[in-house]
Amino acid sequence: MNQPRLSFWQIWNMSFGFLGIQFGWGLQMANMSAIYQMLGAEESELPILWLAAPVTGLLVQPIIGYMSDRTWNRLGRRRPYFLVGAILASLALVFMPSSSTLWMAAGLLWILDASVNISMEPFRAFVADKLPQQQRTQGFAVQSVFIGLGAVLSSALPYLLTNYFGVAGTSAPGTIPPAVSYAFYIGAAAFLLAVLWTVLSTPEAPPPDMAAFERMKAEHRGVSGFLSEFVHGLNSMPQTMRQLAAVQFFTWMGLFCMWICFSPAIAKHVFGAVKGSDNYADLVSQAGQWTGVCFSVYNGVCFVFAFLLLGLAQRYSARTLHIVSLLLGGAGLLSVALIQDQHWLLLSMVGVGIAWASILSMPYAMLSNCLPPAKMGFYMGVFNFFIVLPQIAISLGLGKLMELMPDADSLYVVMSGGGAMVLAALLTLRVRLQPTTSAAQERLA
């Protein structure tokens, strides 16, 4: 089916829900390591406590993608999942600041991550459903705009509440500061309202052949249907998807190293926090707030650069833009090792922000044109495997490695993340963009 071209504001409305989704991700990425440390976690325990994010993505995204490909009701195909995920994620955000123990916070993170994934996964397929091939790069770039804006606001919230609204940014040991709590409450409201905007403003068209759609549902029903399609889907992945999988693996290895270890790295090497010292908790809290500022900056750069991508994508290929962006992101993370003044960290985040804008759009633009429309949600979910598998490996192995190597610390992990991004850029050189023909689409379906 040839989708009609949409106006800029129609693309804006259909992407607006990502503003809320990123509130959930942004609060989590900027604050969870600091929350864990405030509740008594050791530095070597942080990777395993972050295991929730990749595991829930591994399990939830392909299942939700498979289900949304086979859903049609009054809300449509993808929108029911947007809404259910938003409600559950908002509840998890409300309860997170009440965590009194490490394992309570970790449990709520599992719920939050699963819920965000339920909302987020169908959004990728939503772009391919609604837009013709010529507009998909624009659609994913507009998503990047909202991701950047949402992350800017959410990451900086605790710092802004403390420094401009007088909300306490520190608290007694074993408790979460009020500024972080209020930020999570605001994030819960933003998540739900933004997703509602997209649900209410953007209709979905029914399957063009409802009889064929119902037959497809009946042929692949239940757990056995999912497993059968899953195995078949892995075996029949397009070549472009296989090549992008390697790129995604090392890209997200680099990002996860940053998300887990940036806050403890700067707490030790920039703020001078020493475990057991009288001011350790205060310095960790300050580092956590500055991490939020740094993450807000890289997401702000993402927000601005996503607009530039809309123009650059008309002149340069998605592959070229992605290579250059990943190299700049890797340089940004590697430069953290040279910095002693917290303000210079903001310059490092410029490179990370450029990379982040590309990561959120260019791989999906390259991928969507080689996938069969009937399985768009499923393959987008499978593509997520190559995002979460490196994160699982890091979560399970990094903490043990840090225990066995007393001299290793979180700064080396952040630098390793920079090296992984550079490797991902080099692997992007191997990607060959081969749009799927109609006959090939039929074989894949």
Task: Annotate 115-141 with b (16+ C-beta within 10 A) or e (fewer).
Answer: bbbbbbbbbbbbbbbbbeeebbbbbbb
CB atoms within 10 A of CB 272: 12
Residues 297-304, mean pLDDT to the nearest whole number: 87
- Per-residue pLDDT for 208 more than 90? no
Q: Residues 100-126: what's their mean pLDDT?
A: 88
All domains of the chain, ordered by start, with CATH? 8-203+220-444 (1.20.1250.20)
Kindly report which listed range (74-88, 317-331, 401-415) carries the lowest average pLDDT score: 401-415
pLDDT, average across residues 209-221: 74
Task: Give this prediction's pTM.
Answer: 0.72
Q: Are 149 and 302 in contact (CB under 8 A)?
A: no
Which residues sit opposite 73 in a β-bridge? 76
Q: Which two tokens stand for residue 385?
A: 């495997």
- 434 pLDDT band, cuts 50/70/90, is low
pLDDT reported for residue 196: 96
pLDDT at res. 405: 59
Output the pLDDT for position 440. 40
Average pLDDT, the chain: 85
pLDDT digits (tens, 9 = 90+) for 246-256: 999 999 999 98
| 1 has a pLDDT exceeding 80 | no
Residue 225 has pLDDT above 80, yes or no: no
Q: pLDDT, tens digit, for every residue of 151-194?
A: 788 888 988 999 899 898 877 777 888 999 999 999 999 999 99
Decide if 290 contacts 342 (C-beta within 8 A).
yes
CA distances from 33 to 102, 120, 217, 218, 427 (A): 11, 22, 42, 45, 30
pLDDT > 70 in the chain, percent: 93
Weakest mean pLDDT among 33-47, 95-109, 333-347: 33-47
pLDDT given at position 220:
60
Mean pLDDT of 318-328: 94
256-286 per-position pLDDT tens digit: 899 888 988 998 888 988 777 878 878 888 8
Q: Kindly report the number of other CB atoms within 10 A of residue 163's CB atom.
A: 14
Mean pLDDT of 66-87: 89
pLDDT, residue 94, reads 96
